[in-house]
Chain A
Amino acid sequence: MLEITPLHYSLLSAALFMIGVIGVLVRRNVIIIFMSIELILNAVNINLVALSDQLQDLAGQVFVVFVIAVAAAEAAVGLGIIIAFYRNKETVNIDEIQIMRW
């Protein structure tokens, strides 16, 4: 029987991080890009908690609470910005976000 160690959680976090980065780079829908960014932040959280367990140190878990709080604030602001944009432009496709180029 395989025992689940903090290392496994760190690997899961690395995988989530990669999925998030790839999502940001290849998806064209603003909302999906935003979800990918949230995925990256959650990868950070998992990593911090796993490391905190491994190191037997509380700072990592405190860090996680702050990251969650900031991610929530960012989601509130970000969705507001996206809605303001959608009202003017009627699209959430980043290929059409192109009034300003070069």
Chain B
Amino acid sequence: MPAGFSAADFYYLLPEILLTAGALLVLVVDVLLPRRESAVFGVTLGTLAASGVAVLAFAGLDTTISAGLLAVDGFAAFFKVLFLLSAGITVLMSVPYLQVEGVRAGEYCFLILCATLGMMFMASGIDLITLFIGLETMAISFYILTGFLKPSRRSNEAAVKYFLLGAFSLGLLLYGMSLFYGVTGTTSLAGIAEALAGTERTLLLSLALILLGAGMGFKIAAVPFHMWAPDVYEGAPTPVTAFLSVGSKAASFAMLLRILLEGLPGLMADWQVFFWALAAVTMTVGNIAAITQSNIKRMLAYSSIAHAGYLLIGVVAASDRGVTSIMVYLWVYLFMQLGAFAILSMLRRKDVVGDELKDLSGLYFRQPAAAIAMLIFMLSLGGIPPTAGFMGKFWLFSAAIESGFIWLAVIGVVNSAISLYYYIRVVVFMWLKEETLGSAITIRPAIAVALVIAVAGSLLFGVYPQVLFDQAQSASEMLGASVPAAVLLQP
């Protein structure tokens, strides 16, 4: 491994450097400027946009930097744009929410940017150390964000639960990593793949794989490692929940794909079985538990667990098509999930918490536009044809069938049907219940922008998905650079 850093390393790190500088600038602006709230939001969105431009400028590259610690490739760029967009939408929906909660925006935006920074390193890390540092940068920011409403008991409780289980899962993950280091003698994913090629599976390797799988299972909230998710999603501030369910999940999947496909293709038969079981249980438990919920944030938490199950189908398929469909689905999921949470943020008013199902009743008669947007998000989450959710699921299931996992696809389709029940129930409340609660609901400009982006994404990629699919395909081809294609395509 060549030692030392060169100027090129810093050049290719420009997106991350811009994000860090912007995050620090937010803290300064928060203290120095008058009218600080709008200045803080402006600087935050500007930073995200600037970083996004820098990411797009490097999108066509396929290279490794910093002595083989980070990759600048299409796969990383694809995910980085996703993280930046979801952070942007989250900040937009936070504007009115923070005002109602009476929370200062400076530190909040700083932490959102730090979490985004961590995610970007998770997507581009190709060494166990960088992946772990990225994961923790994200996780520690989220621990604080979850408990951001200090006077709220629910927020405190969510933060304690998230922190304890997050730190515990980190311990499992790290022990798994240390075992992989012991077996292979290197921390670089390419080195691990090389050392494991052709070796027999030993007990130690199985143990390492199980610990690693459990640690990642916590992060993507797969059953049976999902216990924290409903409580944390319910207790955290609504925009944080949104970012947690989209950004954190997408980053964890990026990291999982990197580790499994770049580091452990030699153990594919083993982790396919492991994640097959995880996917089937996750989908089923998530959907069945969601049916009984009366709190929408909690319901969306279980729905997000179920979606982790659908996404794991793509991991099990482990083909080019599987990886591509995961990437497509995460984009689609970004729009529909953030959109639904933007509606919930809008419902938060001085006199209404706005996260119970009954708070949505009669929404159509008070704010028809918001109700129609929510209808689109629910249909998309359920996977009804003209929406993006359908295309995403279609590709995931077809990837499973292509790789020969017919039963997994069947379980996925059955679960998709079950999920319709609780998504449609939200629609029933908005249209058929007439009683209305609390003060008037206003769509503030920031929320309106977030909703327009989310609705546009949910519909556009349902009608014309080819753009997204092409992008994902060319990005996922770069992931396989160090993986022999023959290994990738075997069922």
> Cβ of B185: which chain A residues have Cβ within 8 Å of it?
55, 57
Query: A85 contacts B160, CB within 8 Å?
Result: yes
Contact for A88 among B136, B156, B171, B174, CB less than 8 A: B156
Say whether A11 faces chain B, with CB atoms less than 8 Å apart.
no
Contact for B171 among A37, A51, A57, CB less than 8 A: A37
If A17-B175, A37-B171, A40-B168 touch, whether A48 touches B156 (CB-CB below 8 Å) is no
Residue of B nearest to A63 (CB): B129
If A41-B174, A47-B175, A63-B128 touch, whether A34 touches B164 (CB-CB below 8 Å) is yes
Say whether B36 faces chain A, with CB atoms less than 8 Å apart.
no
Main secondary structure of the interface of B (DSSP, over half): helix
Say whether B181 faces chain A, with CB atoms less than 8 Å apart.
yes
Which residues 130-157 of B sit at the A interface, judged by CB distance below 8 A? 132-133, 136, 140, 143-144, 147, 150-151, 153-154, 156-157
> Cβ of B140: which chain A residues have Cβ within 8 Å of it?
70, 73-74, 77
Query: B157 contacts A97, CB within 8 Å?
Result: yes
Complex A-B: 6 CB contacts under 8 Å: A37-B167, A47-B179, A48-B178, A84-B147, A85-B157, A100-B231
Contact for B133 among A10, A48, A51, A66, CB less than 8 A: A66
> Cβ of A40: which chain B residues have Cβ within 8 Å of it?
168, 171-172, 174-175
Which residues 64-102 of A sit at the B interface, judged by CB distance below 8 A? 66-67, 70, 73-74, 77-78, 80-82, 84-85, 88-89, 94, 97, 99-102
Query: A99 contacts B154, CB within 8 Å?
Result: yes
Query: B160 contacts A30, CB within 8 Å?
Result: yes
Residue of A nearest to B149 (CB): A84
Say whether B455 faces chain A, with CB atoms less than 8 Å apart.
no
Contact for A73 among B132, B136, B182, CB less than 8 A: B136
**Distance between B66 CB and nearest chain A CB, rounded to angstroms:** 13
**Distance between A89 CB and nearest chain B CB, rounded to angstroms:** 6
- Using a Cβ–Cβ cut-off of 8 Å, how many residues does chain A contribute to the interface with B? 43
> Cβ of B408: which chain A residues have Cβ within 8 Å of it?
none
- Using a Cβ–Cβ cut-off of 8 Å, how many residues does chain B contribute to the interface with A? 43
Say whether A22 faces chain B, with CB atoms less than 8 Å apart.
no
> Cβ of A10: which chain B residues have Cβ within 8 Å of it?
182
Contact for B187 among A17, A63, A70, A74, CB less than 8 A: A63
Query: A78 contacts B143, CB within 8 Å?
Result: yes
> Cβ of B179: which chain A residues have Cβ within 8 Å of it?
47
If A66-B133, A81-B147 touch, whether A44 touches B157 (CB-CB below 8 Å) is no
> Cβ of B158: which chain A residues have Cβ within 8 Å of it?
100
Assembled-state Cα–Cα distance A40/B191 (Å): 26
> Cβ of B167: which chain A residues have Cβ within 8 Å of it?
34, 37, 74, 78
If A41-B171, A47-B175, A66-B133 touch, whether A84 touches B153 (CB-CB below 8 Å) is no
Query: B178 contacts A84, CB within 8 Å?
Result: no
Query: B178 contacts A47, CB within 8 Å?
Result: yes
> Cβ of B157: which chain A residues have Cβ within 8 Å of it?
85, 89, 97, 99-100
> Cβ of B153: which chain A residues have Cβ within 8 Å of it?
88-89, 99
Residue of B nearest to A40 (CB): B171
> Cβ of B159: which chain A residues have Cβ within 8 Å of it?
81, 84-85
Say whether B436 faces chain A, with CB atoms less than 8 Å apart.
no
Query: A37 contacts B175, CB within 8 Å?
Result: no
Residue of A nearest to B182 (CB): A51
Which residues 169-194 of B sit at the A interface, judged by CB distance below 8 A? 170-172, 174-175, 177-179, 181-182, 185-187
Task: Pick the most buried of A30, A43, A63, A102: most chain B CB atoms within 10 A of its CB.
Answer: A63
Assembled-state Cα–Cα distance A21/B165 (Å): 12
Say whether B30 faces chain A, with CB atoms less than 8 Å apart.
no
Say whether B163 faces chain A, with CB atoms less than 8 Å apart.
yes
**Distance between B211 CB and nearest chain A CB, rounded to angstroms:** 9
Assembled-state Cα–Cα distance A67/B177 (Å): 12
Query: A81 contacts B136, CB within 8 Å?
Result: no
Say whether B161 faces chain A, with CB atoms less than 8 Å apart.
yes
Assembled-state Cα–Cα distance A51/B181 (Å): 8
> Cβ of B359: which chain A residues have Cβ within 8 Å of it?
none
Query: A70 contacts B235, CB within 8 Å?
Result: no
Assembled-state Cα–Cα distance A32/B300 (Å): 32
